[in-house]
Amino acid sequence: MFVDNQMMRLLFFLILFISTPSLKSQDVKDGKMKIFTYRLVYLPDSANTEYRNEEDFDLQILDHKSCFVSTNYKFGFQNIKMMAVNGQNLALAAVNVMKLPKTSFRYSIYKENDHISVYEKVYSYGLKYNETVSFNWKLTGEKKKIDVYNCSKAVAHYGGRTWEAWYTEEIPISEGPYKFRGLPGMIIQIYDTKNNYNFSLIEVQTNKDYPLFYDDTFNNYKEITKKEFFSTRENLKQNYVNNAESKGTSFLAKDKADIQRHINKRNNNPIELK
């Protein structure tokens, strides 16, 4: 019953996603875009230090703006749009939706100077918050080569973690994965000192004539403060079963406690602790 209802919700979003994202990439000058792909290796469950997961992300940079988004999340959006535009019948669409790549990161982060906007799907709720961040990087003077890049080290504190970044001035763009930016060059690798989250640059693409990834449904996301976002996300997690039932999902009575325990345990090690 749970899977059937989940499928129906996905089909509902299939109808809504007719106006979904489009992407692009090429040179950072003259209205063209570059895409930097990062691989994140992370610890989703702080109680299970033996298990690591990984996911790839695209950092799209167009002039002085950027978007950071999971490649799986982006790919799923594009395919849902294609199904809708092609008028795929609901039965076939249901099968294809369930085959789309899974993501643990249903957010898109937009940066312009120190201003950051985050759009995130928390379960079935679309939420948005803004923040202004100055990372106050400390340049250590340490040097090393990563792949073909001569890199320098910098350290900053953010989100309850201490981060060590390796950046290169050979790519003179003050950007990096997630919300990180503000160094004298592109961040090639960044990780927290406990190595719970580790981003590494794996590919640079040059394309042309696409705008930054964006979905028109973001316009309907509820805007709240960052503090409200964190409390809302935790509340939705702790009350997952009740919230799902209020939206029409049915669970067997004997399964409810186990489902809630599973949700509470899953992804209990967020990138930002505070």
Tens digits of per-residue pLDDT, 38-75? Answer: 999 999 988 888 899 999 999 999 988 999 999 998 87
pLDDT score, position 10:
43
Output the pLDDT for position 2: 39
The average confidence (pLDDT) of the chain is 83
Q: Which residues contact 127 (CB under 8 A, 6 or more apart)?
A: 119, 120, 121, 221, 222, 223, 224, 229, 232, 233
Q: What percent of the chain has pLDDT over 70?
A: 79
What local confidence, expressed as pLDDT, does residue 5 receive? 44
Q: Is the pTM of this model over 0.85?
A: no
Q: Please report the pLDDT score of residue 12 as a whole number.
A: 38
Q: Pick from 257, 107, 102: which is nearest to 178 by CA?
A: 107
Q: What is the pLDDT of residues 129-152, one digit of tens each?
A: 999 999 999 999 999 999 999 999
Q: The tokens of 213 are what? A: 């990834």
Q: Is pLDDT of 223 > 80?
A: yes
Tell me the C-alpha distance between 150 and 94, whole Å.
48
- The pLDDT tens digits for 184-195 are 999 999 999 999
* Bigger pLDDT: 266 vs 157: 157
